[in-house]
């Protein structure tokens, strides 16, 4: 029994390969198209036969005959279909090992039943439209003619060359990382790169690339997800092994400590955040840090350069520039006088210090002895003089801006009888 035939039409000149599906095909000895015998046929299985149509006209019934008798008939039409015409092939060359996907363009290819590279069938093919077919080249050598067969016949041939080209080799990429947004230029080095036709980052094609020489390619990275991908290059000889490229997220700063320091710079600031590996610069406003150390992906230490006012600290990585964290430069405090200027050797005398830049005072020293103190305003601090030996002692205040000049306080011994 025959259930279907594919294709159900072919050229009046015959030669169209058809596939019959049905049942009980094992002992088939004859295949007829109407009264005409098929010039050749193959019993593929108990449910499938392939046969070549003989010349004919109109609509005939295909039957098969075996030891059990003759099957039902299925209709097959001889139609005057123009032979397909091929006008182009791209690419027109590939490696001897095959596997290259080529695009064939022309006309009348909609009903293609075969694509051949010379006498060898394509590994696979897909009819895209009446004017285009994609096919995977089988292994081969030299230059062959690619043809397409349809019910209308076999097309003219277009030349395809098998190239004994080396497989491209990639050895390195520089830089080895870039932003997730892509768009940065990288340089690939290796060998056998002359005929490269594609560069991919993971599964994504480079935005563009230029073959500089047999050992170098420049490419623009496409956007990608944070993390590593393999860059590969494909040429007539095949596809290279990969070199690792990292997509880096935009860095983020979440904190800085301390957030103030002297205008002269020199303060070591600890920055915390995310995606800080690969940092190439730390800036305090427009000025680069005197030095910096990347401790981890979440921490950097940097030495503040000289500056003034409040500036934004930012870090720069291959992933971009971070948000800013404010940092304030504090002027060195100045003392102009104190009152009273003397007191007993015992502790407890309240001394008022006058000057400027005193708001952020964090220490008051009488000599080397700390005093308890209260910041009243930017020009006024009160302190309790600590006990000490009789005589003069230098009083200083310290802020994030540094240590002030000194003013003299004199301890006076109590009179004795």
Reported as a single tens digit per residue, the pLDDT across 8-38 is: 888 788 888 899 999 999 889 999 999 999 9
Residue 329, burial from CB neighbour count under 10 angstroms (0-12, 13-18, 19+): buried
Residue with tokens 């002692």: 393
Q: Is the pTM of this model over 0.85?
A: no
- 305 and 376 fall within a common domain: no
Picking from 299, 330, 361, the residue at the C-terminal end of a domain is 330
Residue 190 falls inside a structural domain = yes
- How many angstroms separate the Cα of 366 from the Cα of each of 190, 208, 347, 389, 397? 70, 70, 11, 11, 9
CATH number at residue 285: 2.60.40.10
Q: Quote the pLDDT of residue 105.
A: 96
- DSSP secondary structure code for residue 11 in this structure: -
Q: Please state, in angstroms and rounded to a whole number, the distance separating the CA atoms of residues 146 and 155.
A: 9
Whether the predicted pLDDT of 414 surpasses 90: no
Residues 323 and 339 in one domain: no
Cα–Cα distance, 362 to 375 (Å, whole number): 9
pLDDT at 417 over 80: no
Whether the Cβ atoms of residue 313 and residue 324 lie closer than 8 Å to each other: yes
Rg (CA), the chain: 43
Q: Is residue 107 one of the residues assigned to a domain?
A: yes
Please report whether residue 267 resides in a domain: yes
Tell me: the pLDDT tens digits for 64-74? 999 889 999 99
The verdict on 150 and 190 lying in the same domain is no
* Alpha-carbon span 114 to 7, nearest angstrom: 12
Q: Which domain holds residue 360?
A: 334-412
Does 156 share its domain with 177?
no
In tens, the pLDDT along 262-311 reads: 998 999 999 999 989 889 999 999 999 989 999 998 999 999 999 999 99
Residues 204 and 133 in one domain: no
- Shared domain check, 403 and 350: yes
Let me know whether 240 and 256 are in one domain: no
If asked whether residues 210 and 272 sit together in one domain, one would say no
* pLDDT, tens only, 208-240: 999 999 999 999 999 998 889 999 998 877 889
Task: Out of 142, 163, 184, pick the residue that ends a domain.
Answer: 163
Q: Is residue 417 part of a domain?
A: no
Residues 181 and 241 both lie in one domain: yes
402 and 338 housed in the same domain: yes
CB atoms within 10 A of CB 295: 13
Name the burial class of residue 13, with classes exposed (0-12), middle (13-18) and buried (19+) by CB atoms within 10 angstroms of its CB. middle
The reply to whether 11 and 71 lie within a common domain is yes
Of 99 and 358, which is predicted with more confidence?
A: 358
The answer to whether 327 and 305 have CB atoms below 8 angstroms apart is no
Residue 229, domain member (yes or no): yes
Which of 163, 182, 209 is a domain's end point? Answer: 163
Q: Identify the pLDDT of residue 54.
A: 94
Whether 314 is covered by a domain: the verdict is yes
- Asked if the model's pLDDT at residue 151 lies above 80, the reply is no
Positive or negative, the CA dihedral 374, 375, 376, 381 is positive
Q: Based on the fold, state whether residues 220 and 177 are members of the same structural domain.
A: yes
Confidence class for position 121, pLDDT limits 50, 70, 90: very high
């Amino acid at each position: 029994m025959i259930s279907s035939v594919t294709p159900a039409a072919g050229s009046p000149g015959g030669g169209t390969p058809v596939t019959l599906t049905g049942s009980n095909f094992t002992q088939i000895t004859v295949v007829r198209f109407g009264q005409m015998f098929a010039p050749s046929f193959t019993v593929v299985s108990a449910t499938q036969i392939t046969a070549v149509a003989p010349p004919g006209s109109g609509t005939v019934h295909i039957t098969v005959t075996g030891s059990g008798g003759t099957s039902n008939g299925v209709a097959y039409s001889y139609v005057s279909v123009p032979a397909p015409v091929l006008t182009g092939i791209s690419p027109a060359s590939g490696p001897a090992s095959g596997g290259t996907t080529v695009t064939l363009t022309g006309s009348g290819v909609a009903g293609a039943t075969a694509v051949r590279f010379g006498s060898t069938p394509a590994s696979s093919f897909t009819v895209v439209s009446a004017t285009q077919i994609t096919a995977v080249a089988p292994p081969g050598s030299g230059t062959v003619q690619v043809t397409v067969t349809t019910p209308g016949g076999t097309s003219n041939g277009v030349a395809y060359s098998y190239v004994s080209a080396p497989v491209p080799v990639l050895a390195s990429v520089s830089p080895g990382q870039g932003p997730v947004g892509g768009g940065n230029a990288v340089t690939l080095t290796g060998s056998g790169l002359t005929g490269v036709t594609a560069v991919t980052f993971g599964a994504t094609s480079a935005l563009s690339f230029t073959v500089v020489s047999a050992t170098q390619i420049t490419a623009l990275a496409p956007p990608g997800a944070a993390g590593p991908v393999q860059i590969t290059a494909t040429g007539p000889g095949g596809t290279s092994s990969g070199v690792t490229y990292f997509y880096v997220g935009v860095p983020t700063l979440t904190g800085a400590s301390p957030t103030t320091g002297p205008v002269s710079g020199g303060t070591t600031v600890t920055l915390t955040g995310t995606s800080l590996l690969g940092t190439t610069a730390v800036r305090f406003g427009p000025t680069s840090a005197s030095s910096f150390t990347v401790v981890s992906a979440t921490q950097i230490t940097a030495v503040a350069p000289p500056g003034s006012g409040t500036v934004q600290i930012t870090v720069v990585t291959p992933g971009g520039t971070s948000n800013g964290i404010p940092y304030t430069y504090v002027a060195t405090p100045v003392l102009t006088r104190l009152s009273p200027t003397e007191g007993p050797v015992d502790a407890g005398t309240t001394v008022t210090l006058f000057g400027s830049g005193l708001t952020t005072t964090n220490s008051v020293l009488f000599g080397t002895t700390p005093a308890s103190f209260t910041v009243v305003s930017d020009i006024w601090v009160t302190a309790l003089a600590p006990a000490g030996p009789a005589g003069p002692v230098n009083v200083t205040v310290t802020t994030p801006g540094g240590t002030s000049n000194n003013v003299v306080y004199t301890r006076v011994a109590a009179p004795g009888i």
